[in-house]
Each structure stands twice: as C-alpha cells, then as structure tokens.
Amino acid sequence: MSLHAATAAELARGLRAKRYSAVEVAGHFLARIERANPALNAFVTVTRERALADAKRADERLARGEGGPLTGVPVAHKDIFCTTGILTSCGSRMLSNFVSPYDATVVERLDAAGMVLLGKTNMDEFAMGSSNETSFYGPVKNPWDERKVPGGSSGGSAAAVAARIAPVATGTDTGGSIRQPGALTGLTGFKPTYGRVSRYGMIAFASSLDQAGVLAQSAEDAALVLSAMAGHDPRDSTSVDAPVPDYAAALDKPVKGLKIGIIREFFGEGLDAATGDAVRAAIEHFRKEGARVKEVSLPALPLSVPTYYVVAPAECSSNLSRFDGVRFGHRCKDPKDLTDLYKRTRGEGFGAEVKRRIMTGTYVLSAGYYDAYYLKAQKVRSLINADFKRAFGEVDVLMGPTAPTPAFDIGAKTDDPILMYLNDIYTIGANLAGLPAVSVPCGLVGGLPVGLQVIGPHFAEERLLAAAHAWQRATDWHRRMPAAYA
C-alpha cells in the first residue's frame, strides 16, 4: 500500500515497526502537496523545512523506542491556529502579515505528540462560511470534483485529507465547520463537546460556540488525534477540567443495544432525496447490528439557523473588534485620524462576509434591538438545548444527515447569504447546545460523498467514536479516494 493510502493510525504503526522513516513519510506528503496544491488551493502555507526537521526529531524518538501513537505522522493545521514563527492568516487580508509569536495549545500538544507539521490550511475568512469561498486566498476545490466546493469553513483541511496530501488535519467547528466539509469530502469530521479542547491560540469567532476538532480518514484516526489534543488548559477558562479518556480504547465497544434516535426534523423539506436514502440505509445497518432505533422529535431545532445568525454574529462583532490596525495585522495607508484609521483598516482588511456578520452582530446588540434579537435568540437557544436534553433522556445518540445535499458548484450560493447559511441547518444545533458530533461518510451521490451525522450528549465522545468505528468496520466508504488523487 502506498504511504498516502494509509490512515494516520496505519502510518504510526508502520513508523514504529520501522517499515519507513518519518522523513520518508514527510517527503512523500510534501511531494504530493507540491503536485496537487496549485489546483486544490488547500494550503495557504507549506512548512517544508519545519516538516523535515520535525520528522528527523520523530525518527530519533522512534529509534530510542520513545514513539507514541502519533509520532512521525504528518498533520496540517487550519490557519486559525496560531503557530510560532509561521504566518497565521485566518484566511483574511487582515492577518495576511501576521506571524504568530506563540503556539495554540492544540498545536503545542500535537507537536509534543511528535506529529510533523506539513503546513497551514486554507479556510473561510475568520471561519465564516460554508463553502471556503470567502477566503482572502481564494476558494478551495473539492478533490472529488474541482468544480465543487469542499464545504467550509475548514475546507482546506478537508480537501487536503480527502486528496491524501495530508493524512489528518485539524479544524474548528462553530456551526458545522468540521462536520459539513467532512461530509462533502468523504471524511470523518469530529467536533468534540464544547470545552473539551482548549481554544487558547485559536482565533476567536463566536466564543460560546467555537470548538476545535479533527478531519480524519477514520474514527480510529480521530480518536488518536483527539486523545492527544483534548484536556484542560488553564489558559482557556472555558476548557473543562475533566480527565481525557483513551478514546482509541473505546472504539471496539459493540453497538448492540445502542439506543438511536432519528431526528424527524432532519428529514423534511430541503433534504436531497438520495442523500436521505443513504443516511436511512446507514441507520438501518445499525438496527440490523442490534441497535434500537426510534424516531424522535426536537420541535425547536428548525429554529437553529436563525438563532445562530443572531448569536454568532453578536459574538463575532465583539471578538473582531480587536482588529484595529494598532497592535497587529493590516493597517490602512495615511490615516487622517484615529477613527479613519479604524474604519479604513477594517473596511480594507475584512472581506464581504465578515463585514456582513460584524454589522449583523452590531445591530442585534445595539440599544433598542438587544431584547428583540439577542436576548430572544438566547432564549430560543435554551429551547433547543431543552429539546436535546429531553431526547437524550430517551436515546443514547441522535442520527441524521450532516448536510442537506452533496457538494455544490463553486459560485452557486455566493450571492445569497441565507441560501448559504442553510447548508448548516443540521449541524448548528450541536453547537448551540455544546454537544459532541461526528460526520462519517455513508455513500456517494452522483459520485460525491455524503455524510451520516451522529450527535451525543455532553462528553459522550467515546460513544460517538464507537458507533462511527462500528460503521467503518462494516463499510468501506471512508477508504474511498477521489480517483484523481488515489
């Protein structure tokens, strides 16, 4: 088997068995990036020298017999994670000159695990988008069909792993930004419970929703990377102080007796028929394996998208006020006074969608509108949360589609923000309630991958990974590669 067809777990085993060196593995992926990236635009920065230096250190560790479960395995980081001495752009002109003076906790931990940094991946600007078309660095192409979007906002990470130019990549998920691109590119996209992974050094979009996770080839890979990146961090006051289980050890738990709830509201109008069929067939497989399946209703869930488009812009308008052209990032030329400096810096530095969200957030928080919009949305968020709580009183996990359709054409939805926002109709609920959720590939529709979403209660990561792994032992959708990159 060629190196790029191997999962991260398989690469790690091969490295520990000395079948190849970490330097060879890094060289293989760097060569693939060089060939594929001009067409895909998945990477903003390729860190060739850093990768080779990391790989050399990993080989030394492995030679001493000190290698861990990820030592020597290459990784790509979404360009939202700060990396010391490396451009950290967040997909924005605003940070197109920002070389981070420190590492995000996620970066630090995967580095300590001995992973090899291949580079930084393209993304929707400040993680605001569902198609990776809002990036200052241009759209990312879907390796399954380069006329299609890879999803977003972690589109570069998704395209890189789908094309096997990186074995695994990090992502962030505020409203579906790991799971939706995971579904659209045939990957296992895992978003942990809010607070499970530190947000320190992860550029903030909407702080009550943001969570770091993984775009991987399999549940096993997601488990390995999650075990290494999760855990309490005193530098992020919302990170949860609870021990991190060995997620890989939980993979083999059987699904017999698992109580699955099918979310009725996820199978209505707007769901592509063939995508719905693939998802239903996957759930039927679980039933045959001994899971108990029933339909559940979460009546407030259809209000997720409007709730999100009040809460997330409100938080973003506050978080992005730090970009003022004074301490870092873009600054306009020849400001005539401080207000002019702020306005032109921000007008030039932010793209259209980011400005739209800042203004939406500014409006819903402004005097006279706060109660009608922001407070109301926070109350509806409570209703949605209560629906999930009630459902998890009856079932162990919830299942449904990840996205309403397979990947769509580049440019198809850029003129209509509402149409674009509706891509996240099935993913946003988990963010509003802070729940862990995973998308696993469950079929091809017109040659394009579609995903099954599994949502669990807070801190039920192990249950989700076991369900995903059981599905992947019985099927090979997750091993399919786009023909052009096989």
Partner 1 sequence: MTLTRRDVENIAHLARLEITEAEMPVYVKSLSSILAFVEQLSGAPTADVAPMAHPLEGQVQPLREDRVTESDRRAAYQANAPAVEAGLYLVPKVIE
Q: What minimum distance in Å lies between the beta carbon of 355 and partner 1?
A: 6
Q: Is 227 considered catalytic here?
A: no
The DSSP line for 145-209 is BTTB---SSSHHHHHHHHTTSSS-EEEE-SSSTTHHHHHHHT-EEEE--TTSB--TTB--S-TTT
One-letter amino acid for residue 90 of the chain: C
Chain-centroid distance of CA 95 in Å reads 20
Rounded CA-CA distance 48/211 in Å is 28
Instruction: Please tell me the chain's helix, strand, coil percentages from 3-state DSSP, rounded to the nearest 5.
Output: 45, 15, 40
Query: Rounded to whole angstroms, how far apart are CA atoms 175 and 177?
Result: 6
State the nearest-atom distance from the C-beta of 309 to partner 1, in Å: 6
Subset of residues 246 to 285 that bind partner 1, contact rule: CB under 8 A: none
Contacts of 195 (CB under 8 A, 6+ apart): 211, 238, 239, 240, 434
Q: Which of the residues 131, 153, 198, 227 is marked catalytic?
A: 153
Among 243, 257, 339, 476, binds partner 1 (CB under 8 A): 339
Angle between helices 352-365 and 304-319 (to 10 degrees): 100
Spell out the alpha helix ranges (H) of 230-337: 273-288, 304-319
Closer to partner 1 at the Cβ: 153 or 307?
Answer: 307
Contacts to partner 1 from residues 84-103, by CB under 8 A: 97-99, 101
Consecutive H or E run containing 393:
helix 376-394
What is the enclosing helix (H) or strand (E) of 452? strand 448-455
Candidate segments 7-15, 40-48, 319-327, 449-457, binder of partner 1 by CB under 8 A: 319-327
Among 41, 142, 172, 317, binds partner 1 (CB under 8 A): 317
Asked about 304 being catalytic, the answer comes back as no
Kindly write out the interface string for residues 395-424 of this chain, putting x where it contacts partner 1 by CB under 8 A and - elsewhere: ----------------------xx--x---
CA distance 431 to 193: 9
Among 27, 231, 245, 335, binds partner 1 (CB under 8 A): 335
Q: Minimal distance in Å, beta carbon 209 to partner 1?
A: 8
Q: Shortest distance, CB of residue 103 to partner 1, whole angstroms?
A: 13
| Residue of 89, 131, 177, 317 with catalytic role | 177
Q: Which of residues 3-22 bind partner 1 (CB under 8 A)?
A: none
Ramachandran angles phi, psi of 452, nearest 5° = -95, 130
**Of positions 112, 249, 352, 484, contacts partner 1 by CB under 8 A:** 352
Tell me how crowded residue 292 is: count the other CB atoms within 10 A of its CB. 14
Min CB(91)–partner 1 separation in Å = 18
| Of the residues 343, 405, 412, 445, which one makes contact with partner 1 according to CB under 8 A | 343
Asked if residue 180 lies in contact with residue 62, where contact means CB atoms within 8 angstroms, the answer is: no
Closest listed residue to residue 89, CA positions, set 76, 78, 98: 98
Q: Which residue in the set 20, 267, 328, 485 belongs to the binding site for partner 1 (CB under 8 A)?
A: 328
Min CB(29)–partner 1 separation in Å: 30
CB of 178 to partner 1, least distance (A): 16
Instruction: Examine residue 242 and tell whether it contacts partner 1 (CB under 8 A).
Output: no
Minimum CB–partner distance for residue 400 and partner 1 (Å): 20
- For partner 1, the closer CB: 307 or 472: 307
With CB under 8 A as the rule, give the number of residues binding partner 1: 76
> Can 153 be counted among the known catalytic residues?
yes
* Neighbour-count burial of 24, counting CB atoms closer than 10 A to its CB (0-12 exposed, 13-18 middle, 19+ buried): middle
Interacting positions 164-223 with partner 1 (CB under 8 A): 193-195, 208-209
Looking at the Cβ atoms of 20 and 459, the one nearer to partner 1 is 459
Under the binding rule (CB under 8 A), the answer on residue 433 touching partner 1 is yes
Residue that the structure tokens 């957030």 belong to:
361
Tokens read off for 295? 């339909």
Residue of 21, 78, 141, 148 with catalytic role: 78
Segment 278 to 307, residues that bind partner 1, using CB under 8 A: 300, 303, 305-307
Interface with partner 1 (CB under 8 A), residue from 34, 60, 295, 340: 340
Residue 206, token pair as written in the block: 């909407």
**Phi, psi of 206, rounded to the nearest 5 degrees:** -130, 105
Site string for partner 1, 355-394 (x = CB under 8 A): xx-xxx-xxx-x-----xx-xxxxxxxxx-x---------
Q: Does 240 bind partner 1 (CB under 8 A)?
A: yes
* Catalytic positions, written as ranges: 78, 153, 177
